[in-house]
Amino acid sequence: MKRIFLFILTNIAVMLVISIVLSVLGVGNYRSGGGLNLGALLVFSAVIGFVGSFVSLFMSKWMAKQSMGVQLIENPADPTERWLVNTIQAQASAAGIGMPEVGIYDSPEVNAFATGWNRNDALVAVSTGLLYNMQRDEVEAVLAHEVSHIANGDMVTLTLIQGVVNTFVVFFSKIVGYFVDSLLRGDNEENRGPGIGGIIAEILAQIVFGVLASAIVSWFSRQREFRADAGSARLVGRQKMIAALERLQMNHEQSALPAEMAASGISGGKAILDIFMTHPPLEERIAALRESRY
């Protein structure tokens, strides 16, 4: 229920921002003279695509805290929490970024994630399962992986990529909807607003193009995982990162993060097809580290 509420709230916020932006730009009407104004449609699509992505980015820390039940460590309560904060602080300094917020969420899964809208205002959260099922050297490597995501600007990079693909999903789906609508209407010039057939065609096109877009974003996400692994190897040593990934391989009951957080975790879980995986297979990541110079 909480996740559904947060999803609805986010979408209301996104639609409100989009409405304001479209009103200011005056690009809400992309139909003119009985046809499509492709320039206006492209701007309209870009506004929807990028505003949606950036609103999600700016809300990412808040969403993560609420949906995952992250408890921030403001005053370490025990030696484990103190070690966790001190380790991330040292790694953030070495990586040249601001100190992230540090939190723990209660879950038996062995996982961690980083999120936030910029390098100096981020969050690193780890599961209780990770803290209590990994050796400290392995946890240190996982933390360095997440800090590397922040240092590499991966959240912003993936947001920009998502904005681009969202733009083309909206753009081409509206063209498909308009084309189908024109075929169904024929020469009828009355009531030139979109008909039900065009609306259904547009929705179906958005689903198809959205699936293809997810594959593109997932490919970029997998490349960023290799970079974050390499970043961890630079910060704490290659063998520690390899050991952490091997530990994940041993955890046969590894559960996935929620879909909205999957791309930012240390382990992304499974996907129906490989092209939709946000993380490369663990064996490929281990092999890449073994072949690297770090």
- Provide the annotated active-site residues: 146
The Cα-based distances of 25 to 14, 20, 21, 40, 206 in angstroms read 16, 9, 6, 10, 24
Q: Which residues pair with 31 in a beta bridge?
A: 36
Would you say how long the chain is, in residues?
294
Cβ contacts of residue 290 below 8 Å, gap of 6+? 238, 242
Q: Is 107 exposed, middle or buried (0-12, 13-18, 19+ CB in 10 A)?
A: middle
DSSP track, 110-167: --EEEEEEETTEEEEEEEHHHHHHS-HHHHHHHHHHHHHHHHTTHHHHHHHHHHHHHH
Here the tokens at position 272 are: 């129906």
